[in-house]
Amino acid sequence: MPKAEKVKIVQEIKEKIKNSDMVIFTDYRGLTVNELSALRKDLNKNSTVYKVFKNTMINLALAECDGLKDYQSLLEGPTALAFTEKEFIEAAKILKNFSVKNKNMEIKGGILQSEVISLDKINFLTTLPGKEVLLAKVVSSMKSPLINFILILSAIQKNFLGVLQSIKKQKEESSNK
């Protein structure tokens, strides 16, 4: 491969790493083309790009990224990278579920917001609820006090009307006597 092409590939990897909230390193050994295509399709729905690169190219790109350390263990064996700019928990869940179904794929670790993370941390991320679930919980917790406030206001109004009706009834009874 000509040097210009290598520089271009290293630059592409470096840009994708910088623009991604999370990069997950996987070993794809033993996966069929159809399995890789199915995985890419699932990840694309989540705006995640899954690409195979040579370890030497990844190593050169990582060396140019400031502050990244201890990433060498991620480059053992064939490596494919999953780049995600948003919803990285969902991307981690997709990869985790795929690796459970397909024993040939192994998640090695990753980079989360410029920090190298282990497989254990990625597994922890997959246990967290997704963004939509968290937003639903926030909205629910915000809605509950408002509903209680409205119920209190309506109870006050209802009680006030009851008092007025009692006064009206007393006046009618006293005027009829």
- Do the beta carbons of residue 106 and residue 68 sit within 8 Å? no
Which fold is adopted by the domain 3-128? Answer: Alpha-Beta Plaits (3.30.70)
| Phi, psi of 176, deg, nearest 5 | -80, -15
* Gap between the Cα atoms of 113 and 80, Å rounded: 18
Give the pLDDT score at 114: 80
Cα-based angle 56, 50, 86 (whole degrees, multiple of 5):
115
27: phi then psi, degrees, rounded to nearest 5? -105, 120
User: What's the sign of the alpha-carbon dihedral 107, 111, 112, 116?
Assistant: positive
Per-residue model confidence (pLDDT) at position 106: 92
Residue showing tokens 């590939």: 9
pLDDT per residue of the chain (177 residues) written in tens, 0 to 9: 668 888 899 999 999 988 888 999 999 988 889 999 999 999 998 889 999 999 999 998 988 887 777 888 888 889 999 999 888 889 999 999 999 998 889 999 999 888 888 989 999 988 887 777 777 877 777 777 777 778 787 778 888 888 888 888 888 887 776
For residue 1, the model assigns a pLDDT of 60
What is the pLDDT at residue 34?
A: 92
pLDDT on residue 95: 94
**How crowded is residue 103: how many other Cβ atoms within 10 Å of its Cβ?**
8
Residue 4 C-alpha from the chain's centroid: 36
Which contacts (CB < 8 Å, 24+ apart) does range 38-47 have?
Answer: 39/94, 39/95, 39/98, 39/105, 42/94, 42/98, 43/82, 43/84, 43/91, 43/94, 43/95, 46/84, 46/87, 46/90, 46/91, 46/94, 47/84, 47/85, 47/86, 47/87
Write down the pTM of the prediction. Answer: 0.72
Output DSSP code: residue 28: -
Torsion (CA) 136, 141, 143, 144 in degrees, nearest 10: 140
